[in-house]
Structure 1
């Protein structure tokens, strides 16, 4: 099944106030010229920056990098938590024609060393704790090219302490960033994104999903080293003149107070955030926070009930780093239950079988994506032509995700292909089992994974985080509740409780870390 492109989902329609720069550096300079004294960035419990202040910081960083001898195409690694200086560094690097390498702050050891060495970064800009972590790896990066982001740090003052005007260098087709995947299933892959791809994804988010204007205030607690916070936060703010409110991380108790305090009318999320917010006790802020739009993927609750309780419009979307975020989406107030939306104007989407042929409406297959306009998809995997050729075949990017499409072109996401559990001759979606268990009383969230079975194929392990506000359910109570929601072949064999689930900083469940818990899990077969 192939999507029919809804003309209203063109990423550029209805956005007359958005800038049309063809390069991230030009975008920054144009925004500063239009709104020099307007507030651009607000740090939760920190300082505010105007667009002109951002430009000043960008110019100083660019001048410092030039004095170090960096030339267009050289790479700069950024390992920072959300803060205005992270925004300035990211803008400075990309605007100067250099390649930004945002590094996941959760990376340690061999994984961190791989990203820094494989990317070929000439300079490392990092928060002090992460700079120390990198230094402990014994890499060959020159000491004078490791710069701490703290304003009073000697390395920052020495490198970037001189004023200079910001500049823009490069073209639409130049690589702007190499963003490494989280690497939960193997060695991280460096996704190369050119300026055009970043701008196309940002236009889609600003015009269609956020409906952003200069009066929009976007709150993000997702990390800027991840494409979601960039596609749905930073670059739409530059395109539209919206304010960007930065929180270092998600706080269940602090989220709605932050939204109200900073008058944010839009925010974005990952699925686990919505589950935590939904299961929090009712509060007077539930409908008094001021947010209007919530954009993201994988809500793990009934979104209509969430909308009614919190007074926001859900905008569910689907995408990945290779598409620079959401490329299939709804518009605010137009969600279709169970669907992640329709293909936006810059891409075409098909659902395919194993032979690579489009399947009929309603049939589950692999989701494949093709560009309809130049620069709609990634350039490839950095220094991995083999992986690029495996993923992009005949102009189509094969996502490895399973989904189905209805006759109207609305896409339903099912799971990662590797998240399927093969049990008793049946394919079981780990996500479907998780959603059923999450609906059980006394469960805050859970993770599900397949584990080897003595009979061949797999058994199902479910790791549950109990809801601290409610009595902990017993195993018989949970089993009775699950039997009303799941077919017999999808019922877990192994159950165990945990204080928290292993996740990446971006909230992605690390399923492979669940498997060792089977050794101490409750075995329903032994208790039967």
Structure 2
């Protein structure tokens, strides 16, 4: 491991990184939330107090602390405190309840849950099935304390803190900092075990790729249980010594007003956020802000280019997965629009064929990964050795994504392997179909999925999210696709929904769309007399 890199990221740990930034500029505002502002010095002190208080509850190094609350300053201080104390942070999706919440807390063996009164009923309902849970910490007073488990307020927790010395708990870059829960779209969520060094290197590479400095003001409205907010923005901001604004939720109507009010220079976006902002009415104030860069994944060209032109910002794309962090970024000065960029300095990528052979330039295959330094990828899935081993082949970690690389070393995402379609002997990228669908006026988001065909293989079903469902012009959308897609990729079926089904982390649940299939209201272009134009 490179010593310079370890020094650069505070010794390779989250707590060390925070301490380094606090020592350099203790009075600089680190976080702004709806509840409070906090300087780097105050955040560093809070991390030490929380670490001490959690140790006082009987926790030992490696024990899990679950954070089950919406975006607020206590999310950040709890996270920093678990890192400082050598405990394991478990971010829990605030939409979880019943079996989902129970599974998350049982899998990670959480001994403490830090939550808020709004979410307490969902937690209380599962207490009988959580033998490891010993303490509930509430960031606000609840009308009634739950029975069967010890409960205290956040202020009470802080009141228990004694002077905590980081030397009492030696923390190394390889030690576990967090367990991230996957979305679980094809089964129960997996627990992704993440070393400290993975997270701080992810922060460093994001900051370097965005050109972030201590003068920047970063903004995220994505939930903190999602790595895009937690690592790609918040820890990224701490690495740069910048100020981070943590909003409660996304609001299209208030978005640019917030950018102006907080003098934001960078924000991040997932899913349909860029498309939703583009769909807002034009305004003479569209360029009246200080935002200079946006990190977005993905950002199809038909969204990226209009967004940049309208709002006068630069969109930086990247590619990554929870298990391996972001591993590519599109360079700011030499980018190729449509590419996911080039590998980071800690990353080695290749494109492999079905039997593990390395493919050449332009050949589509599976994107595979391995690290160039230690401790920058997950160590394993919690209690799931079989799943962990299944992701590896020939010393390469298999992403499950299809892509290709060009002669200049730029990588391109084609599709998820499981989302790829096959029609009449032709392979179809659902991603490429969706890019065209989303370039049609009025389409907020789109998903292309396969539905069984009488002729074998798949027909393509396009499911559209739009706010104009009653008056949606299916024929115009068909013609739009027919003009832009090869004939074998043009969807036969079209269906409109007010909103697409999503996982709690915002991913479209294509499995649900495939199960629903040709539900009532599906428009069949063939029955309407329309067939794709074939080449002469």
How does the TM-score come out when normalised to structure 2?
0.90
Q: Which residue does 1:337 correspond to in 2?
A: 337
Q: Which residue does 2:203 correspond to in 1?
A: 202
Q: Which residue does 2:263 correspond to in 1?
A: 263
- Identify which of 54, 68, 72 aligns with 1:79: 68
Correspondences of 1:10-159 after superposition (within 5 Å): 19-43=9-33, 45-137=34-126, 138-141=128-131, 145-150=135-140, 154-159=152-157
Please state whether the residue corresponding to 1:253 is helix, strand or coil: coil
Instruction: Return the offset for 1:57.
Output: 2.7
**How big is each residue's C-alpha offset from its partner over 1:380-409, in whole Å with a ceiling of 9 and x where there is no partner?**
212211111111223311100000100111
Q: Is the 8 A contact 1:201 1:323 kept in 2?
A: no
Correspondences of 1:240-251 after superposition (within 5 Å): 240-251=240-251
Q: Which residue does 2:233 correspond to in 1?
A: 233
Q: Is the 8 A contact 1:267 1:295 kept in 2?
A: yes
Q: Is the 8 A contact 2:64 2:87 kept in 1?
A: yes
**How far apart, CA to CA, are the structure 2 residues paired with 1:461 and 1:478?**
13
**How far apart, CA to CA, are the structure 2 residues paired with 1:160 and 1:120?**
23
Q: Is the 8 A contact 1:313 1:333 kept in 2?
A: no
Question: Aligned pair in 2 of structure 1 residues 399, 142: CA closer, same or farther (>3 Å)?
Answer: closer
Matched, 1:404 2:394: no
Q: Which residue does 1:252 correspond to in 2?
A: 252
**How big is each residue's C-alpha offset from its partner over 1:361-383, in whole Å with a ceiling of 9 and x where there is no partner?**
00100000111111221112122
Q: Which residue does 1:193 correspond to in 2?
A: 194
Q: Which residue does 1:501 correspond to in 2?
A: 500
Please state whether the residue corresponding to 2:471 is helix, strand or coil: coil
Matched, 1:487 2:493: no
Question: Aligned pair in 2 of structure 1 residues 164, 267: CA closer, same or farther (>3 Å)?
Answer: farther
Please state whether the residue corresponding to 1:380 is helix, strand or coil: coil
**How big is each residue's C-alpha offset from its partner over 1:95-131, in whole Å with a ceiling of 9 and x where there is no partner?**
2111111111122222221111111111111222223
Q: Is the 8 A contact 1:493 1:523 kept in 2?
A: yes
- Larger RCO (alpha carbons 8 Å, 6+ apart): 1
Q: Which residue does 1:419 correspond to in 2?
A: 419
Correspondences of 1:318-397 after superposition (within 5 Å): 318-324=319-325, 326-397=326-397
Q: Which structure 1 residue ranges, 5 or more long, are not aligned?
A: 1-10
Q: Which residue does 2:289 correspond to in 1?
A: 289
**How big is each residue's C-alpha offset from its partner over 1:385-443, in whole Å with a ceiling of 9 and x where there is no partner?**
11111112233111000001001110001111011112222221212111111112232
Instruction: Return the offset for 1:151.
Output: 7.1
Question: Aligned pair in 2 of structure 1 residues 222, 72: CA closer, same or farther (>3 Å)?
Answer: same
Task: Give me the CA root mean square deviation.
Answer: 2.4
Q: Which structure 2 residue ranges, 5 or more long, are not aligned?
A: 144-151, 530-536
Compare 243-252 and 346-355 and name the one that shifted more.
243-252
Q: Which residue does 2:430 correspond to in 1?
A: 430
**How big is each residue's C-alpha offset from its partner over 1:330-354, in whole Å with a ceiling of 9 and x where there is no partner?**
2334321211110110010001101
**How far apart, CA to CA, are the structure 1 residues paired with 2:140 and 2:464?**
39
Q: Is the 8 A contact 1:123 1:141 kept in 2?
A: no
Please state whether the residue corresponding to 2:461 is helix, strand or coil: strand
Please state whether the residue corresponding to 1:525 is helix, strand or coil: coil
Q: Is the 8 A contact 2:346 2:371 kept in 1?
A: yes
**How big is each residue's C-alpha offset from its partner over 1:505-527, in whole Å with a ceiling of 9 and x where there is no partner?**
43211111223152212233333
Instruction: Return the offset for 1:445.
Output: 2.1
Instruction: Return the offset for 1:53.
Output: 2.4
Instruction: Return the offset for 1:39.
Output: 0.6
**How big is each residue's C-alpha offset from its partner over 1:245-276, in whole Å with a ceiling of 9 and x where there is no partner?**
10122211122111111111111111411111
Q: Is the 8 A contact 1:59 1:164 kept in 2?
A: no
Question: Aligned pair in 2 of structure 1 residues 14, 278: CA closer, same or farther (>3 Å)?
Answer: farther
Instruction: Return the offset for 1:471.
Output: 8.9
**How far apart, CA to CA, are the structure 2 residues paired with 1:59 and 1:275?**
41
**How far apart, CA to CA, are the structure 2 residues paired with 1:411 and 1:151?**
50
Question: Aligned pair in 2 of structure 1 residues 372, 235: CA closer, same or farther (>3 Å)?
Answer: same
Question: Aligned pair in 2 of structure 1 residues 108, 424: CA closer, same or farther (>3 Å)?
Answer: farther
Q: Is the 8 A contact 2:141 2:153 kept in 1?
A: no
Please state whether the residue corresponding to 1:21 is helix, strand or coil: helix
**How big is each residue's C-alpha offset from its partner over 1:230-253, in whole Å with a ceiling of 9 and x where there is no partner?**
222121222221111101222111
